[in-house]
Amino acid sequence: MDQLKFAVIHELVKERGATVARVNLREGLLDTSKPLVLHLASLLAGLLGRDQGAVYWGQFGDRRREGQFPGATATFSRELTEEQFVALTHTAMEELAALSAEESFATGGFIFFAAYTVRDVDYLLVAMIKERDGIALSEDFEPEEINEVDLSKLHQAARVNLHSYLATITNREEEASDEREGDEEADESARERTYLCFINRKGRDDVAGYFIKALGCEKGVSSARATKGVIKAVRAYVRKTEAIAPYAPRARQALIDYLDSLGDGSTVTLDHVVQVVARELPIEQVVHLEGLKAFLNEEDNQIPEDFQVNKRALQAYARIAARTDHWNLNFEINALGIRDAEIIYDHQRRSLTLTQIPVPMIKKIEDTLRDRGQLDGVE
């Protein structure tokens, strides 16, 4: 976190079993120059996304009850003023109170809001915290003590990339003119706008299941993007990990084969992905996959905790294979083309040209031809 611009804590009062909720709003923002305030903001911002597959990526919904929070966020993202930040937090609290009242078993807590900058990109963070999670607050919701905070206690949180969101809403009218209702490609394009991420753990005793719904968050990474992305990211992770780098081709192909064996729309979790890759490694090397889930789920890759297989996306990884008595050839169809491709097909000659031959293979070919005297005088 390079700069903490604004921060505040409000309280949502909601008892389990109650059908009403109320809010206690803090008067004035927190002093962002105070070490405890900065520490709390940095801590919560850093925790979001480090739970190896707990984060979902998406956008604000537009097909169900998305509420007033997305609009308040849009207003804030345009100017980033203190007044707009305060208004945004009040709007969010109203939405949280309304939604929590509809859930009998929902519980409240303290809601932390922060606007901060990382590498010239502005973010908005909203997170539910509990005093028993290791954070002690004063009567006016000022952090007094921060002990070790367990990520498993961070049940509900959302982060918006304000730069990406502003770009999305700025281009919305232009996009709307090109996207037709019911058009599959338009729907895929809409779901590529992953300007927010959120944690939404359900099924635990103190989980507030209304949190994400109140903020209007919706899963939005398309099945096509997730299917292609996980293949690319797995290969990148294995290749960059020196101890297991030689297994990158095997790991990638095993994952492709696994995804292809499933039905279109089948759900895959990141745990499944790691297990598939692990089977391709010697048992003593599996330890090097400990960071794979977190790598897949981070902002650069945005592979969600679970996603659906897209068979159309997998078609790019289908293979063409043939063999004779003297050679065999096996390659992915996305490597094939009539120009600017790894494997170029000449229709007139009925021939294939390999354009990216590995250096060891080139050396072996040239050594063989020199031994035959067919490369005499060629350096």
Residue 371 has pLDDT above 90, yes or no: no
Which of 34-48, 113-127, 198-212 has the least mean pLDDT? 198-212
- Does one domain contain both 190 and 132? yes
CA-based angle 44:221:198, to the nearest 5?
Answer: 20
In the listed set 293, 313, 333, which residue is the last one of a domain according to the structure?
313
- Per-residue b or e along 290-308, where b marks 16 or more CB atoms closer than 10 Å to that residue's CB: eebbbbbbbeebbbbbebb
Task: Examine residue 143 and state whether it is found in any structural domain, yes or no.
Answer: yes
**Residue 188 — very low, low, confident or very high, per pLDDT cuts 50/70/90?**
very low
pLDDT score recorded for residue 209? 58
Q: Are 1 and 41 in contact (CB under 8 A)?
A: yes
Calculate ∠ Cα 154-157-163, nearest 5°: 145
User: If 0-12 CB within 10 Å is exposed, 13-18 middle and 19+ buried, where does residue 181 land?
Assistant: exposed
Chain segment 139-165, per-residue pLDDT in tens: 788 887 776 555 555 668 899 999 988
Q: Mind listing the pLDDT tens digit for each residue in 57-116?
A: 788 876 556 689 999 999 999 999 999 999 999 999 999 999 888 887 778 888 999 999
Looking at the domain assignment, is residue 377 inside a domain? Answer: no
Give the pLDDT band of residue 207 (cuts 50, 70, 90): very low
Pick the range with the lowest mean pLDDT from 61-65, 169-173, 187-191.
187-191
* Average pLDDT of the residues in 293-309: 85
Same domain, 165 and 309: no
Do residues 77 and 10 both lie within one domain?
yes
Residues 348, 247 share a domain: no
Do residues 95 and 244 both lie within one domain? no
Check whether residue 106 and residue 195 sit in a common domain.
yes
Q: Are both 40 and 166 inside the same structural domain?
A: yes
- Domain assignment present for 379: no
Instruction: State residue 128's pLDDT score.
Output: 87
Numbers of helices and strands, H then E, in the chain: 13, 17
Q: How many domains does the chain have?
A: 3
In terms of domains, do 69 and 161 share one? yes
Q: Can you tell me the distance from the alpha carbon of 246 to that of 288, in angstroms, rounded to the nearest whole number?
A: 13
Task: Tell me how crowded residue 162 is: count the other CB atoms within 10 A of its CB.
Answer: 22
Does a structural domain hold residue 250? yes
**Do 24 and 152 sit in the same domain of this protein?**
yes
Distances in whole angstroms, Cα of residue 190 to Cα of each of 101, 203, 221: 31, 30, 9
Please check whether residue 226 lies inside any domain of the structure: no
Domain assignment of residue 376, yes or no: no
Q: What is the percent of the chain where pLDDT is above 70?
A: 84
Q: Which domain holds residue 187?
A: 3-220
Residue 253, CA atoms < 13 Å, CB-side half-sphere: 10
336-337 and 343-346 beta bridge pairing:
parallel
Among 266, 284, 313, the domain boundary falls at 313
pLDDT of 231 over the 70 cut: yes
Higher pLDDT, 56 or 112: 112
φ/ψ (deg, to 5) at 53: 100, 15
Sign of the four-CA dihedral 57, 61, 65, 70: positive
Residues 138 and 22 occupy one common structural domain = yes
* Cα dist from 172 to 2, 74, 253, whole Å: 30, 12, 38
Name the nearest CA neighbour of 332 among 349, 345, 314. Answer: 314
Residue 166 pLDDT more than 70?
Answer: yes
Does residue 182 sit in the same domain as residue 105? yes
AA letter at 130 = K
Across 114-123, average pLDDT: 93
Look up residue 332 and give its two tokens. 């992915």
Verify that 22 and 128 share a domain, yes or no.
yes
User: Is 42 part of a structural domain of the chain?
Assistant: yes
In a domain, 195, yes or no: yes
Average pLDDT over residues 159-174: 81
Strand pairing category for 156-161 and 121-129: antiparallel
* pLDDT beyond 80 at 280: yes
On the 0-12 / 13-18 / 19+ scale of CB atoms within 10 A, 140 is exposed
How many Cα atoms are found within 13 Å in the side-chain-facing hemisphere of 364?
5
Range in 190-194, 245-249, 344-348 the model is least confident about: 190-194
Is the pTM for the entire model greater than 0.95? no
